[in-house]
Amino acid sequence: MARGSTRPTSRDVAQAAGVSQAAVSLVLGDKWHGRVSEATAQRVREAARDLGYRPNLAARNLRLGRTRTVLLVVPALTTEFFAGVYTGAARVAAEHGFGVVLYPSPEGIGPARDPFASAQAALDGVIASSMAADALTAIRGEALPLVMLDSDPAGSLGAATVNLDIADGVRQAAEHLLSLGHRRFLHLAADVPSWTFEVRARELAARLAEVPGTSVRTARSPISIEGAVAAAETALCEPGPRPTAVICDDDQLAAGTYKAARRLGLGVPDDLSVTGLDDLALATAIDPELTTVRLDAELFGERGMRALLAVLEGREPEAGDIPVRLVVRGSTAPPGLP
């Protein structure tokens, strides 16, 4: 690097790597495949890293007519799940020279104001959870490329849809409880008008209907521990045989169910088995630790960002739902005496 220079240039990188400036541009612009070797690309990346080289994105973006900025719209920042989605999306974005702006829709769902003077001028695309779909009209209009997360592929607003296999997660939880001998269920459902929660209710009802002698009642709750305490306590006190297992749409709802059970003098899992969905840090902070469905939030965000990059480049995004896995812990056991 020249004496007195405060910022390394692509020429410095080229000299350090022993390649041409054109090769540096190809590698750092992620357009090297089939044009330079993997070994050369690795040498360029190492030289750029060692020199602390950063391309002049402002000049490049001006030439391309892009801001290389993506908006991630989520329903709220009340759990670490959406923080994980952001982390995954931002990691892939950074690898491709993009930045991610996180925008929580007010109060979880509902209309949101355009966070920019003109989103269509300031953004290259949008990734949005279906729980925040109503926020998109003002932000996106009809022009910006959109990838939907947790959204019905048949009716998605987006050019691409990325989903976790929530239906399979619900089936895994139901199969686990059925195998333990449970037949009386309470579904503590999230009181949120969203496709992902409709899937959970539909799949649970369908699976339980296949087993003779099962019954399921549904109670709705906002996604909060306090709301779940009230909803679960009311449902567990309804006339008739008490449920022996509670399937919750979210780990927070499961934590509220624990509190409701204790208020009623019921033990988990001796009197009441409980399952959640998410596998938040909360799941191992409560006692007994919660049996729940693990969702890979960071992979979810990564796949969402990769899908948007594919849309921007005119490629077909990766197909298939992201697998989920039931993690069995201490909150489930065979039912006690009636």
What pLDDT digit, counting tens, does each position of 275-311 carry?
999 999 999 999 999 999 999 999 999 999 999 999 8
Q: What is the DSSP string of 14-70?
A: HHHHTS-HHHHHHHHTT--TTTS-HHHHHHHHHHHHHHT----HHHHHHHHT---EE
Percent of the chain exceeding pLDDT 70 equals 83
Residues of the chain with CATH 3.40.50.2300: 67-164+298-313, 166-294
Residue 273 contacts residue 246 (beta carbons within 8 Å): yes
Q: Which two tokens stand for residue 60?
A: 């490049």
Rounded percentage of the chain residues whose pLDDT exceeds 90: 54
pLDDT at 217 over 50: yes
For the chain, give every residue range classified as CATH 1.10.260: 10-55
Span of 1-5, 22-26, 49-53, 325-329 with lowest mean pLDDT: 1-5
Q: Return the top range by mean pLDDT from 98-102, 132-136, 234-238.
A: 234-238
CATH no., domain 166-294: 3.40.50.2300
Q: Say if CB 72 and CB 86 are below 8 A apart.
A: yes
**Which of the listed CATH numbers 2.60.120, 3.10.290, 2.60.40, 1.10.260 matches domain 10-55?**
1.10.260
CATH code for the structural domain at 67-164+298-313: 3.40.50.2300
CB 73 within 8 A of CB 135: yes
> Greater confidence, 123 or 43?
43
Which two three-digit tokens encode residue 37? 């070797």
When pLDDT is averaged across residues 72-97 and rounded to a whole number, the result is 86
Asked if 164 and 182 touch (Cβ cutoff 8 Å), the reply is no
Which carries the bigger pLDDT value, residue 282 or residue 156? 282
How far apart are alpha carbons 113 and 125 in whole angstroms?
Answer: 17
Alpha-carbon distance of 163 to 153, in angstroms, equals 9
Which backbone phi and psi does 105 adopt, to 5 degrees? Answer: -70, 135
